[in-house]
Amino acid sequence: MVRPMIERCIEVQSARAQITAIPFVATDLCQRCAQCSSRLVCRSKALIRIDPEDPPFVDTSRCYGCNVCIPACPFGALRLND
């Protein structure tokens, strides 16, 4: 009885960690698209782009880890640390 509860707790903690994980932009994968689709879907405006020639970056003070930006990038440039 105790063991399934512990396993459930670990599952919940793991899910929480995934939900709140902050992504980063892999600059070697980023194609510097004229319209960054990941930026368009970020509701907290946490993907910042100062120069259109440069990849965007994640402002960790704004990012709340929803991770919707990850599948929005067609080049897989939004990543999570392993």
Give the binding site for ligand SF4 (CB under 6 A): 23, 25, 30-33, 36-38, 41-42, 44, 46-47, 55-56, 58, 63-69, 73, 75, 77-78
Minimum CB separation from ligand SF4 for residue 80, in Å? 9
Of 9 and 74, nearer to ligand SF4 (C-beta) is 74
Least distance to ligand SF4, CB of residue 70, Å: 7
In eight-state DSSP terms, residue 74 is: T
Listed in sequence order, the residues at least 6 apart from 21 whose beta carbon sits closer than 8 Å to its beta carbon are 65, 67, 80, 81
User: Minimum distance from CB of 15 to ligand SF4 (Å)?
Assistant: 15
